[in-house]
Amino acid sequence: MSLLTRFSRQNSPTVSSAVTLFTRRLSSSSSTSKLHDYYSFEPPASLSPATENPNVITKPKKKRKPQYRPPSSLDRTGLKPMRSNLPFDFRYSYTESSPTVRPIGLREPKYSPFGPSRLDRPWTGVCAPAVDPKMKSLEVEENPNLEGKRKMMRDRVQGKPLIETERKALVSKCQKNKTKRQINLGRDGLTHNMLNDIHNHWKHAEAVRIKCLGVPSVDMKNVCMQLEDKTFGKIIHRHGGSLVLYRGRNYNTKKRPVIPLMLWKPHEPVYPRLIKTTIDGLSIEETKEMRKRGLAVPVLTKLAKNGYYGSLVPMVRDAFLSCELVRIDCQGLEKSDYKKIGCKLRDLVPCVLVTFEKEQIVIWRGKDYKPPEDGYFVTDRESFDDFDDNLTSGEEGIDSQGLGRCNLQD
């Protein structure tokens, strides 16, 4: 029994009749309501998405522009491979990688650092050799005609030698107080892409200043030789690690060589170990004793990070006159850097590598050590003779400033 009926029985009949009237109205309004009929309307066709109005003209939606994507240097579909007529092998570094030293393995599979299908010279994992395209095998000796072609191209570009007044004027224009244009030659040495930077600088000036620091500065002769050989230019000034490279009288920017750029640095191959378990000619006990004594000898010099090491070889040669073991402090340098320095000292001094422990380079002069005949210490300043460019290794002289003249051999 509902609450309303219970309330109506307890009260008077007037109240019960009112309750019944209220319940009837409530039921009738819930079943059939007149409010919906009175206020009902039909929405227009433009507001109803289901119906289509033929009178309304709908504009077609604009197609969105595709997002801009820069052209990729790896996408070479439909393009011919780049060809270059440079008469030498393409390597990542021309000063820090020697073609005479053969690697014993590769860290990664052979892949070209120029990108897929960008160069007609196959990549061997170390370099892209300049061989005859008709040759199918890469295991061939270097073409003897390339050396003559290289010399002919360089002589044609250089033209008549500079006189002393012209050389001094060009060197003066390349000083720091005159221009800020400079190419920095760092720990990787003369890289392949640096050749393109040098030719870009030669568009605006006849000579460019090159600053050499780090590991390559140990052997400045090799740096100067590779710069002249690969760029066909001429070094007209050298003071320490600062060089001035002249482009030549007949240089034409429109006829500059095509230099394909490397997109990434290739992995360094695996070379034989520099430090052996036992030194040749010594036993295991003698080798251990020598390494222990080598770490205890006084330090010859401490190498600064990314410094100039041009006087390191003469210093080691002078030290070997009084001591058989030499220690060089390399704290703060990268491990690969002081290993490269030790490898250069082994070939230039020459000497025997003992250990690289505790960031030190310990070298031994060997049992049958003979001092080199061409002297020990050389000056950092380089003078140039315009009348005779091919100076012999033992030639000495006095320049206008009273400094001893030396050649690029040291």
Please tell me the predicted confidence (pLDDT) of residue 4: 46
Task: Examine the domain organization and report whether 223 and 307 are in the same domain.
Answer: no
**Is there a domain that residue 187 lies in?**
yes
Task: Examine the domain organization and report whether 15 and 95 are in the same domain.
Answer: no
> Domain of 296: which CATH number?
3.30.110.60
**Is there a domain that residue 377 lies in?**
no
**Is there a domain that residue 327 lies in?**
yes
pLDDT tens figures, 21-72: 555 555 555 455 566 666 666 666 666 555 555 666 667 778 888 887 776 6
**CA neighbor of 329 nearest in space, from 358, 290, 287, 352:** 358
pLDDT top residue among 247 and 405: 247
Task: Examine the domain organization and report whether 105 and 18 are in the same domain.
Answer: no
**Is there a domain that residue 356 lies in?**
yes
Task: Examine the domain organization and report whether 100 and 199 are in the same domain.
Answer: yes
Task: Examine the domain organization and report whether 29 and 97 are in the same domain.
Answer: no
pLDDT tens figures, 234-259: 999 999 899 999 999 999 999 898 89
pLDDT tens figures, 286-313: 999 999 999 999 999 999 998 999 999 9
**Is there a domain that residue 115 lies in?**
yes
Task: Examine the domain organization and report whether 242 and 119 are in the same domain.
Answer: yes
Task: Examine the domain organization and report whether 106 and 211 are in the same domain.
Answer: yes
Task: Examine the domain organization and report whether 247 and 103 are in the same domain.
Answer: yes
Residues 6+ apart with CB under 8 A from 355: 275, 291, 294, 295, 362
Task: Examine the domain organization and report whether 245 and 359 are in the same domain.
Answer: no
Is the pLDDT at 120 greater than 90, yes or no?
no
Domain of residue 179, residue span? 90-132+142-255
The structural domain count of the chain equals: 3
Residues 6+ apart with CB under 8 A from 99: 89, 91, 127
Task: Examine the domain organization and report whether 239 and 331 are in the same domain.
Answer: no
**Is there a domain that residue 190 lies in?**
yes
The DSSP code for 234 is: E
Task: Examine the domain organization and report whether 170 and 245 are in the same domain.
Answer: yes
**Is there a domain that residue 57 lies in?**
no
Instruction: Please compute the mean of the pLDDT values over residues 351-369 and round it to a whole number.
Output: 90
**Is there a domain that residue 385 lies in?**
no
Give SS3 for 383. coil
Instruction: Please compute the mean of the pLDDT values over residues 349-378 and round it to a whole number.
Output: 81
Measure the CA–CA gap between 183 and 186, rounded to whole angstroms: 10
Task: Examine the domain organization and report whether 8 and 152 are in the same domain.
Answer: no
pLDDT top residue among 54 and 145: 145
Q: What pTM value is reported for the model? A: 0.71
